[in-house]
Amino acid sequence: MHKRLKIKFLGLEFDSPLVLPAGVMDMSFSSLQEAIINGAGIVTSKSLTIEPRAGHQGPVVAEFEGGMLNAMGLCNPGIDDGLKEIEQFKKNFAAPVIVSIFATNANDFMQLAKKVDLSSAEFLELNLSCPNVFDEFGIPLAASPQQVFEIVKAVKETTSKPVIAKLSPNVHAIIPIAESAQKAGADALCLINTLGPGMLIDTRMRKPILTNKFGGMSGPCVKPIALKLIYEIHSKIELPIIGTGGVQSGEDAVEMWMAGASLIGVGTAIQHYGINIFSKIKQEIILFLEEQNYDSLMNVPKLES
Ligand code: DHB
């Protein structure tokens, strides 16, 4: 633990500003523990649904120079078994947990939120923005300010946990959507979910690499978009932001912070470099703080709007 990296978020204090975002690692309590042992301050569960989901058929991930595509198809053990893993995690670790939930309507979101409310997780995240289930569920909810408002409001009335709305970058105007989340009572935002979806082709097989054809894009190529959206939202909306999108170094993390993030997610870099990436990024943030004479990340000024 390093005092320069201590961070406050929604009234709680954490040892590290780094977050394991939803869906990156499997849902077992031991994977979540691995992230904490290696330097994450907070872990997010996979997006849990009412019933278990097998997800899409593999291959579900494909790397390219700029990052990665993934089309997991919301594979998860379902809310009941997912929460059992969280409780198991909590028996051994004091680190805070965000439970991510996914549904397609307010009633199902409320049903999930009621269960999370009874758990020992600290925060609830609404995945309003999975890009890979168009065929099954249609356009993501995060494309509609009205739907975002209804769902956030319904969930806020159901739970006493702070609610984080995870928004999509795949919209023409994100500000009205973030404003809807705020008006409905969201406590924080998580930005950004994956971009696209996009496609990669296996030229010898003459077919898309992903069995699902398309997948959400993440990694270094999305970082400039994440920074821009976080910066814009931070300058207009007074909600804390979990900034995620292509972070793989201390420099990237400081950029996220300066753009307006209060916590910083590291996802795709784990796939590429391994779980130890959290420790590397922490070390690099500390070096930046020492070099620039800041005694805490929290004292590094955000960019002016
Ligand atoms: C999936 C869900 C997401 O929210 C995302 O950004 C990418 C993939 C999925 O489960 O397919």
Instruction: For ligand 1, say whether the CB of 240 is within 6 Å of any of its atoms.
Output: no
Instruction: For ligand 1, say whether the CB of 127 is within 6 Å of any of its atoms.
Output: yes
- Whole-number Å distance between alpha carbons of 163 and 161: 6
pLDDT of residue 133: 75
Helix (H) or strand (E) run with residue 243 in it: strand 241-244
User: For each successive 10 residues of the chain (305 residues), what is the average pLDDT?
Assistant: 91 96 90 96 97 96 97 96 97 94 96 98 94 75 92 98 96 96 98 96 98 97 98 97 98 98 98 96 98 98 94
Instruction: For ligand 1, say whether the CB of 198 is within 6 Å of any of its atoms.
Output: no
pLDDT of residue 134: 73
How many C-beta neighbours within 10 Å does residue 230 have?
25
Q: Which atom of ligand 1 is nearest to the CA of 46?
A: 10
- Whole-number Å distance between alpha carbons of 272 and 33: 19
Instruction: For ligand 1, say whether the CB of 267 is within 6 Å of any of its atoms.
Output: no
CB 61, CB 268: distance < 8 Å: no
Query: 0.75 cut: is pTM over it?
Result: yes
CB 281, CB 250: distance < 8 Å: yes
Nearest CA to ligand 1 atom 4: 130
CB 48, CB 76: distance < 8 Å: yes
Match 């900034």 to its residue by tokens.
243
Task: Give CA 13 to chain center in angstroms.
Answer: 19
pLDDT of residue 143: 86
- Site to probe by mutation for ligand 1, drawn from 57, 193, 244 as the one with most ligand atoms within 8 Å of Cβ, is 193
Q: Which atom of ligand 1 is nearest to the CA of 75?
A: 10
Q: What is the arrangement of strands in the sheet containing 67-70, beginning at the earlier edge strand?
A: 61-64, 67-70, 214-218, 195-199
Instruction: For ligand 1, say whether the CB of 23 is within 6 Å of any of its atoms.
Output: yes
Catalytic center residues = 130
pLDDT of residue 1: 66
